[in-house]
A and B are shown apart, each in its own frame.
Chain A
């Protein structure tokens, strides 16, 4: 089955800097890659996703890139703000199974 690895597990950045979180997946049949943001005590929220027919997708300060050949995808957050502090999860979908999640990255944005 699918296996998703996520790095780093923790990330601290200064406010205004960029943050990058990377994930790799094992199943070449995977075709959908969402990212979730989970603030303390709240549910995971879908913030951006990418499908295997595109290489990059942007939504304001966040972007996701996908390299199908290397089987990795990344989340990029620019001009980070304190409210970006949260745990971020990547996930992969490969056909008939539910999403498989990475272990999460705790992002701290230091004002």
Chain B
């Protein structure tokens, strides 16, 4: 499976600021996704990061709040904008091969907003 890294691994941010999370994969992948996992909860899909076009957002998530970039097949960023304490969560990058459906997760970014 692909090796996935995320930066930063954790951060503590002030209300009203923004944080950009990076996801790097060691091989080209078809699909890249961003998930949020609130404490003790399941994995909620934020959006699918599409290479060369705008991300596809799930219900309840908007581009102004969670802008996403995917400049190539090995890299993506997720920005959490104008943060509030409710944004405190773990953000996970996930990659998949559309052909075999398997998805693998990065180590996650633990975000705390004060």
Contacts and interface: CB of A to CB of B under 8 A. Distances in A.
Nearest to B93: A43
B48 A98 contact: yes
Interface residues of B, number: 19
Nearest to A44: B105
Contacts, number: 40
Given A43-B92, A43-B108, A99 B42 contact: no
Interface string A55-90: 000000000000000000000000000000000010
B14 to A, nearest CB: 24
B107 interface: yes
A43 B107 contact: yes
Given A89-B42, A101-B43, A104-B42, A43 B105 contact: yes
A46 interface: yes
* 4 closest residue pairs by CB, A with B: A32-B101, A43-B105, A103-B42, A101-B43
Given A46-B1, A99-B101, 9 more contacts: A42-B107, A43-B92, A45-B105, A89-B43, A93-B101, A98-B31, A98-B94, A98-B103, A99-B103
